[in-house]
Structure 1
Amino acid sequence: MELTEYFQSYEDYFWEWTTDEDVPDDTGYNENNLISFQNIGAVVYRPYLIEILKELQLKGLPILSPLLLALYATNEGYLDLKGIKTNLRKHPLAAHEYVKHLIRPAFQFLETLKSLHNNYKKGKNRVLLLQTIFKYASNNISEKQSEYILNGYLRNSRKIADSSQKIEITVSKFSKDLGILVALNEKFPSSQMIIQVMKGNLKIADIEEEVIEEETTIETDKDFIQQLIEEPKTFQVGSLIKRIWSGLKIPMRHLSPGEQPIGGVSDMTNKGDFSRMLLSEFANEDEVFMNRVANNEALYIQREIPPEENVFERIILIDTSLKNWGTPKVLAFASAIAVIKHPKAHSECKVFALGQNSIPIKLDKVEEVIDHLNIVSPVLEVSQSLEKFFSEEHTDKDLEVFFITNRENLENQNLQKVIHENRDRLKFLVTTSAEGELNFYKHHKGTRKHVQKIMLPLQELWANPPKRNQKGENNNSPRSKKADVPLNYPILFPTSKNRIATFLYEGEFFILSSKKQLLKTYLSDNYYNKNYYDQYKIHRGCEVLFEDISVRPKGQFALAKNKQHQFILCHYQRDKKLISKLNLNTKEYSELNLSGHKIPHQHKLIYFDKNFYLHQIEIPYNYRINLDGDISLEETFDKVNERIKIIQKLKLNSIN
């Protein structure tokens, strides 16, 4: 390869040779002394580029275009990689079948370089970085040819003028430039791997043998926080998270000096190895030299050490005791998710709910958040489970524990004692309150320091709850695809065979299908006469009334209409001791934990006389659930059972 070919520029490509008249060149040729990117500006001056090429020459020069992109990605300050990517996609050859699939992975590698700590992108570290990555690049020029190109430039730098005359780029050249970065992206999938190779802790053979398994995920238009906001059951939690982010000041990662001395000289000391002794010490006479060494007067170089990221196991403990019920629990879960899902938090985080015991939970999906919000504990305080957590279950020292509790719980002496004894591992203490106040404390060198206070305007943030749940609108699976609800007139669909529950209400038959739809079908007028209906029934299909009903398929259900003629779906989960009520028209949801009520196992959920009941015909008392307003439970001893028996007798008489 000739000098002109190596430095050749191309028409409509992302870089070109330009001239900065204010910067003279030592070679005497001041034209074409700068390489600039399209719509970006100056990237690298020619003298610095030549110095970089001299450092890379020993292993063979890399192709120039990928090197320029790598130099830009390792520059300091604001970098517009997206702008370069957009300009490349506008090139006529970008749509070619050999090119279009290379752009995305190529820029993934540039983003990896961009994410490196600034210490690795300065001075000699930057040179070492470029030597490391391009050592394993494809299509490098041979060492002999590299020497020929650089010597040719040093003899006659004016040949760059020929290279500055743009020619048309070919598909082969375009794909080769991007293909080099794509191959590097496969060899170095993460910034940490680049650092390990730079330090010599990892060889490229290990990288090529390592199989990286990535979890296959379905990309959605909404992020996790937005999904929480749109789900009525998690709206209160989701609406607080971004507000907490805006004021959160706790560190998302920790940096400390590393052990690999790849930096420059930062200081001098009177202790060290002979390899680091200051060269001027060897200029002393033998007796003076030995005397200075013996008396620890000789000076040694202390190298600058770039920081490394400490690896702590981050654990979040959420108090679920009595004083942390209600609003404090909502704030606790919002704080936990804010720490876990923070944009700058890349480390793995474990979450435990503390009650009588520590229960591991996950908060990665909306369904998981809904389930774990129902976890409550009857204990007054969690000092015993917290002490057990540190003394028996997690004895490691490299822990960074967040403990989230109600501020009133800190007045308990037992809890104070456990927190004080484990303050070296319990790094952060977060307190909540019913008024929306969050306080963050940090344990540092045995003392507790107040980091910050966040006051959340709960009424403002919770003023506009979602009217409908759109969580399932992007589900395009053929098996779960549901017909759209018609806007102008009802279209009758086939009767669903997979049903969660069926209801008979005011002469109309309703089906809650497994696709979370409420269907309405029609019976004959004499629907109490089973024989008549079996003989003369007509399958006219079902009308879809509601879709995307947020409900679990297990449990007992009852359906009714309130005074505003809105459908109310009542759900009784006996195993979870939970009863809930959902307004299908407005999506208003309320639930009640029945742990404190001794409800007989035989009681069943029914609708009767404008109320829901937990009812058993042989037991004289029932539990009444209101139809309007927030859900409530009332034990009654009225004559509901007698009235139900009379109605059942009337039905039997009409059949006979």
Structure 2
Amino acid sequence: MDEDRYRQASLYLSPAANAFWRWASDGETLIWKHGPTIAFGPEVEAVLNRLAPRGFPPFGVLALFLAACRDNWHVASAGSEYLQEFEQLAEVLAKLHTMDKALRNSPNQKALLAEMVLDWFPTIVSENQARSIALAWKEKLQPESLKPNESFAEGRHLLESDTRMICKLLKTRLQELEEENIRARQKTGLEADLTAPQEELTIPEQVRLLLSQLKGDPDFNDLSQMASQLLAAVTLPKPLRVEQDLPMGGFSDVANRGPLDRLLLSELAYDEDILAARVALKEALYLQREAPPKAPPQQRILLLDNGIRLWGLPRAFATSAALAMLATANHTPEPLAYRPEGDFLKPIDLTSREGLQDALSKLEPHARPTAVFPELVKVAKKHQTADAGELELVLITHQEVIEDHHFRQHIDHLLKELTLYVATVNRKGEFQLVVYRAGGRKRIRTAKLDLERLMQPKPEKAPQRLDDTGKIRYPRIFGSEPFPLCLPTSCSAVRSSWLPGEGLLFATRRRQLMWAEENGYGTQEITARLPRGPITWMRLNRQRQATYVGGYIDRSSQLEVWLIDLEYGRIRQYTTENIGRPVSIWQSSTHLCLRYLEKIEAFRLDGSQHKVHAISREVGPAFDNLWSGRFFNRYGSWHALRVDSEGWKHETVPIDKDYAGFIRSLHDLEGVEGLPSFEGDDGLVAFTGSHLSHILHYQMGGMKPLDTKNAINLEPLNPKCPWELLSRPFQTLAYHRLEHHCVELPLLLLPELKGKFIWRKCAHPTMRNKIKAVVIDQTAGFILQTAGEELEVYSDPQNWELGFRVKPLQRGRTDRTVIPFEQIPTPAEMRVQLQQARLPDGSTCMLDNRGLLHILPADPKVMEMTLTLPSSGPIAIRFEDGQANGPAYFVASQTQTPAEQMYQTFMKWVRKTQC
């Protein structure tokens, strides 16, 4: 047994002849091939013991990890000549070297870091073998057994798969690894705080929760109010309770008969003879219990009509009645809801916003729902059992339907087998609940709702301040999303998506999502509350629909999926049902799909549906395949997954056998779904079906396409690394001082290129950094002071445009007050830096680092104002109620209030501050 353990350890730990690492003569120190130390024996032992419970990756990966943790890590002296494409690996591992030394000093710290970094890396040694190898190392191996072995291939010990795959796995994990997570893991064993498990809710509880969430919703608030008002009117008659054999309720009486265990305690005070006599003569007192109320379980089945009589307002009224019916089905098994579709029944989901939207969108042209009655009888009999009692079969339709002669004929046939409850609605807001039995019908509930009052638009509420402590008053404009003014942003992006002819969508390090449109406007802040953690996915399509996936902290995280409509500024947020990081993500023209180990989560881009599909094992385990979006390579052939409304489909990609051997990744051509392109060892190939159309090859001096229509002649920065040609700008795009370079090669769909741009910092086009104070001068208007001049807000008398009039700096005047701006703390969720100046009358001026000046008057009757601070040209001004005026660069397509009116309102406030 010991010999097998030592042999396994020797096979795993001994290097190949061409490996970049070796063992020193003592058999414990890990060194580079040319001499420098990588790690000492205790460090190797700690890493092996830590990773043994999950198995070992190739030992070459562990060696690279340990080397990157050392202070003397340097690419030039670390053996780049021994490793193919080592520059890529070195770039990926550089983050380990730049981490705080306190996180990687001791062997235990390095072992913990290795566990966090390599947690998702594929293993080549099983758990049992790994424990055996760790034990053999602890017992000391002979140095001779760790000498380089000529019979080993380096790939088995370092790569085991393509180097690019190793780079991808390590890079993905290292990008999401933050120092605060490492410190938390060292202290507590957890990377993030534990979240409480979610309670499983019944369907009635889910519906009630949905109704509370829809209050205030711009689309479904009226529906929620109607359903809430109908809750008391939709209760169905309760059947007689079932008598129980054993009364197990509360104590209700005292009697002279009963079991001995119900004797009053006072009876036990008698001696044995007297107690026996009292029991025999029926004089002893016993407690009596009553039977608790018990109703037989009933199955509630709803049929929500969607015929032509319910189109329009009655459709919303009927759906609210269905919601109220489901919300009050507390003492039944899980209720069921259906809608007609031709002669068949289709289930509907009224427990989620997406399901509710989908149910409202399905309409049928029939005048009465009688065609589905045979299917309804089958469903009812399927759920009716011997102990279920009476079924609660409910039809929700228009009031005119029950007066229809054909409806009466069909319902008479239905009533021979079942009892039917019919809930009717109309445009006047009248609701009726009628029970139909074989003996006739009876109206049991009525209600009248004022639909005109419920459906009329509600006035928009002013957004609340982000801080109401009284110490610091923040502008209400910060509560608006998206931000109502366009900004002259010049910040760097961590992820971006460019759509030629439309604009650039990018995320910043401050978790802001920005949209720079190619129409002369500034950059719009869509949201400033992106989830914590790295960005897993971001994409923009031609319909100006953006998809965002993020929020990954650790393996127990559920990702957040955002569907963003840039046209209307609408954001829909979802949380994935699966835990952890998906194997791959792709987006079609209708769906965003996340592929997990055994499931696919599909989100419709219009937000109407979110489904989880179980995936069969024919696709194979995640790490056994080479995944690239929806494409994966299994046993040498390429396959694709496609998701539609019916589920997922598995297809084989037709590729000529001559090219199948060198393909490394496969992608859909942008804008043309189903026409993939693929990247190979010798170049990039785009094809339609199985016919190749473009072939491009790497060359030592550059890159040359065979297709002359896209002539490209780019010189790589490093001839040994031809991929670095992507860092050379091919086209420069400028969005009014927001500049970036991108490589516009539609055929070159490299994973490294997708969604990434090279940014160049530019001079900030605002005067925010120059402004130092506010000046109160009774002989002038509103003045901002810089280090060498004064800027007075004025209005051009010809066109009333607002701008700054530059004046020389006036020092030493005693008839004016200068209030300097001071830095103030801001909540992290605001993503801005503010400076504040408090005026003598109690008003506040706030300088925003985005190039804005916010004015918060002391008088609550005066609206808050926001001014832009451009370095030249007219300025824009916006009031709290939405009135705005100024250049289109700042106010975009908003309706503009006359500048004269805006200036006069502004000057009224200025005169109050000067009193």
Q: Report the TM-score when normalising by structure 1.
A: 0.36
The structure richer in helix per residue is 1
Q: Which has the higher strand share?
A: 2
Q: Greater relative contact order (Cα 8 A, min sep 6): structure 1 or 2?
A: 1
State the TM-score, normalizing by the size of structure 2.
0.27
